[in-house]
């Protein structure tokens, strides 16, 4: 199995990373691009390549343990709470000067690196300016513009991009046996996000959740104020429930991971890592869940507009094409687009960390208004 087997459609990024492994890696890399396109998976695989004595064979004990997050020379760092704190960076600065425990390098993977607050970034900069010879830093960020330029300029950039829809659809057909209609629908609604497309193809819970979201989107145009309130609560509860389910999967894996711990020190390190991972993944699940809600609502009204003017090829929810054709009317296009705008405004508000309940409530209100 090749090192980057899980990644699809990222030739430029993988060329940079493969070349680094073949000819000698720099000290710092910054993996950028939209969420869900394979940055985190590539970062972990790359860390395996930097530590494995074969340069990333993907099958040896080192590669396997790095992949499971269990290698003592590969440290995964992510925000504790809202930020990557100065204490976390100080711990790295202290740790990085030590020789590797067993591998040929020490690697630090910083997920959502833009979460470093100013203090943390300043402390981190010192280490980036004079990194010990055996150290490598892999920063992962979907919002690199939020990182201080002084940090960005010291990293080699590795750009990831949205995966092309046709490539994604082919992958869903060949790897998971999706039908043509499913493959095209999942690839289109995923909008280049490999992770979401894969989830739709492989997980019945994700598919059921999408259908519920489509149902709510469909109903939002005609739902009265009281029912809208019920819908709002149901949407919020469904996002929380999906995040809880994700945490439950991680908790179930915990025992498996801890059985690798030989001594008490390793066990406590792994436990701490596990806690961080749970927090990180829960936060991601909630953010991703909200994005899924907004995406589904926006796509639904966009699709009604497309179907109304006969632009079937532009329809994202390809598996709902017949319904969309039957339920859309050319005279309503302005209203459909009004609903799309309402979702767009909500997305903007989310960027400024507005309360989710408040923002969604206003979205449902504006959609209803667009149809009056």
Selected range binding Zn ion among 1-9, 50-58, 172-180, 231-239, rule: CB under 5 A = 50-58
Count of alpha carbons within 13 Å of 39, Cβ hemisphere only? 27
DSSP state for residue 106 in the 8-state scheme: E
Q: Which residues contact 161 (CB under 8 A, 6 or more apart)?
A: 9, 10, 12, 33, 34, 37, 192
Q: Cβ 54 to Zn ion, closest distance in Å?
A: 5
Q: Cβ 272 to Zn ion, closest distance in Å?
A: 25
**Cβ closest to Zn ion, residue 52 vs residue 306:** 52
Q: Closest Cα partner for 316 from 198, 201, 214?
A: 214
Q: Cβ 50 to Zn ion, closest distance in Å?
A: 11
d(CA 209, CA 242): 9
Are the C-beta atoms of 17 and 158 separated by less than 8 Å?
A: yes
Q: In the block, which residue shows the tokens 């760092």?
A: 77
Interacting residues with Zn ion between 53 and 72 (CB under 5 A): 54, 57, 60, 63
Q: Cβ 69 to Zn ion, closest distance in Å?
A: 15
Q: Cβ 47 to Zn ion, closest distance in Å?
A: 11
Q: In the block, which residue shows the tokens 């469904």?
A: 238
How many residues make contact with Zn ion (CB under 5 A)? 5
**Cβ closest to Zn ion, residue 1 vs residue 226:** 1
d(CA 338, CA 103): 57
**Beta bridge partners of residue 29, listed in sequence order:** 138, 156
Question: Which residue's beta carbon is nearest to the bound Zn ion?
Answer: 52
- End-to-end Cα separation, the chain, in angstroms: 57
**Cβ closest to Zn ion, residue 70 vs residue 333:** 70
Binding string, residues 159-188; x marks residues near Zn ion by CB under 5 A: ------------------------------
**Cβ closest to Zn ion, residue 63 vs residue 316:** 63
Q: Which residues bind Zn ion (CB under 5 A)?
A: 52, 54, 57, 60, 63
């Amino acid at each position: 199995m090749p090192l980057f087997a899980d990644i699809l459609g990222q030739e430029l990024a993988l060329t940079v990373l493969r070349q680094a492994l073949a000819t000698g890696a720099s000290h710092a890399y910054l993996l950028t691009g939209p969420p869900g396109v394979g940055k985190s998976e590539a970062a972990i695989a790359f860390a395996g390549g930097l530590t494995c004595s074969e340069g990333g064979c993907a099958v040896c004990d080192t590669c396997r343990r790095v992949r499971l997050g269990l290698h003592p020379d590969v440290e995964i760092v992510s925000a504790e709470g809202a930020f990557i704190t100065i204490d976390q960076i100080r711990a790295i600065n202290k740790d990085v000067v030590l020789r590797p425990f067993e591998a040929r390098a020490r690697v630090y993977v910083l997920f959502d690196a833009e979460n470093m607050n100013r203090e943390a970034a300043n402390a981190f900069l010192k280490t980036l300016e004079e990194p010990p010879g055996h150290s490598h830093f892999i920063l992962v960020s979907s919002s690199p513009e939020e990182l201080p330029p002084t940090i960005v300029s010291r990293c080699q950039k590795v750009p990831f991009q949205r995966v092309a829809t046709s490539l994604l659809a082919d992958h869903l057909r060949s790897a998971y046996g999706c039908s043509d209609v499913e493959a095209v629908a999942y690839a289109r609604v995923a909008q280049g996000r490999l992770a979401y497309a894969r989830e739709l193809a492989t997980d019945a819970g994700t598919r059921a959740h999408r259908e519920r979201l489509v149902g709510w989107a469909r109903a939002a145009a005609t739902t009265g104020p009281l029912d809208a309130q019920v819908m709002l609560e149901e949407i919020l509860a469904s996002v929380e429930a999906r995040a809880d389910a994700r945490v439950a999967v991680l908790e179930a894996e915990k025992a498996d991971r801890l059985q690798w711990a030989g001594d008490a020190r390793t066990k406590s390190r792994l436990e701490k890592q596990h806690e961080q991972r749970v927090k990180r993944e829960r936060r991601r699940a909630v953010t991703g869940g909200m994005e899924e809600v907004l995406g589904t609502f926006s796509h639904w009204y966009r699709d009604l507009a497309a179907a109304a003017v006969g632009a079937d090829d532009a329809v994202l929810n390809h598996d709902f094409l017949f319904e969309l054709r039957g339920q859309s009317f050319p005279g309503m296009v302005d209203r459909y687009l009004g609903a799309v705008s309402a979702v767009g405004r909500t997305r903007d508000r989310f960027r400024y960390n507005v309360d989710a309940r408040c923002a969604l409530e206003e979205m449902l209100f504006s959609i209803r208004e667009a149809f009056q």
